[in-house]
Amino acid sequence: MYWYIEAFKHYADFKGVAHRQAFWMFMLVSLLVSLIIATLEILTDNPGWLDALYSLITIVPFFAIVVRRIRDTGMPIWSVMVILIPIVGMLLLIYFLCLPSQPRAHLLNPRGEPI
């Protein structure tokens, strides 16, 4: 739950990095919350507004943590655009998100300060 809350604390931070554990724990908790909401909607014959609202609330933190995870792998930010390729793009993005973290030297400017 820590990583889920942490992702919401940094919901608009597209410049940092996110380690594998932070990303996948956010995804796991998000999936569990979504499943609970969907189950509640099915049991109460709700048309799906709660799930849509939850999706809207989590869309920015999701994209932020994906971008930070891609940065952590050492790949260019534009690698996220691979998602635009039908079917194969999603598989490639999942592969990119599973890559190990890289050294942080590429995230420093010439003076040695974080970008």
Predicted TM-score (pTM) of this structure: 0.81
3-state secondary structure of 63: helix
Residue 58 above 80 pLDDT? yes
Total Cβ atoms within 10 A of residue 41: 16
Q: What pLDDT does 110 receive? A: 53
Q: What pLDDT does 114 receive? A: 57
Summarize pLDDT for 26-49 with one digit per residue, the tens: 999 999 999 999 999 999 988 878
Total Cβ atoms within 10 A of residue 6: 16
Contacts 24+ apart (CB under 8 A), 54-62: 58/30, 60/11, 60/12, 61/7, 61/8, 61/10, 61/11, 61/26, 62/26, 62/30
